[in-house]
């Protein structure tokens, strides 16, 4: 029941920027978009979140379109360690803020 859709897989060359898209055309005006990633056999790791302004932290940048129907996670200089499954999620605030994970995007960073 995820309200987001992502491409199932992407490749990126090491050292280049990885741009991961996410469509969330049905989220409401007060719902944040969160990004997590999961490296094989580990728990998910928080990356970044935003509402309507672009956000940047030490890990990534998040670009949200003005109509809030989509966003892009940018890893500016991808490394091999960034190979993971990336999840774009909108929490269900009317259900305690639980996160329902979709299938995510499997990013492969190649040398």
Partner 1 sequence: GAVVSQHPSRVICKSGTSVKIECRSLDFQATTMFWYRQFPKQSLMLMATSNEGSKATYEQGVEKDKFLINHASLTLSTLTVTSAHPEDSSFYICSARAGASREKLFFGSGTQLSVL
Binding site for partner 1 (CB under 8 A): 32, 34, 36, 38, 41-46, 49, 85, 87, 91, 93, 95-104
Cβ-based nearer residue to partner 1, 18 or 91 = 91
| In the complex, least distance from residue 49 CB atom to partner 1, rounded to whole angstroms | 6
**CA atoms lying within 13 Å on the CB side of residue 93:** 9
Cβ-based nearer residue to partner 1, 59 or 74 = 59
| In the complex, least distance from residue 34 CB atom to partner 1, rounded to whole angstroms | 7
| In the complex, least distance from residue 16 CB atom to partner 1, rounded to whole angstroms | 26
Cβ-based nearer residue to partner 1, 29 or 97 = 97
């Amino acid at each position: 029941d995820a309200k987001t859709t992502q491409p199932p897989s992407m490749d990126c060359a090491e050292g280049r920027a990885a741009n991961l898209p996410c469509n969330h055309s049905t989220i409401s005006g007060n719902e944040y978009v969160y990004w997590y990633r999961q490296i094989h056999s580990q728990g998910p790791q928080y990356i970044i979140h935003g509402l309507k302004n672009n956000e940047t932290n030490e890990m990534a940048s998040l670009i949200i379109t003005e109509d809030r129907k989509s966003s892009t996670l940018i890893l500016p200089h991808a490394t091999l360690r960034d190979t993971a499954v990336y999840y774009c999620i909108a929490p269900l605030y009317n259900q305690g803020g639980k996160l329902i994970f979709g299938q995510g995007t499997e990013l492969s960073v190649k040398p």
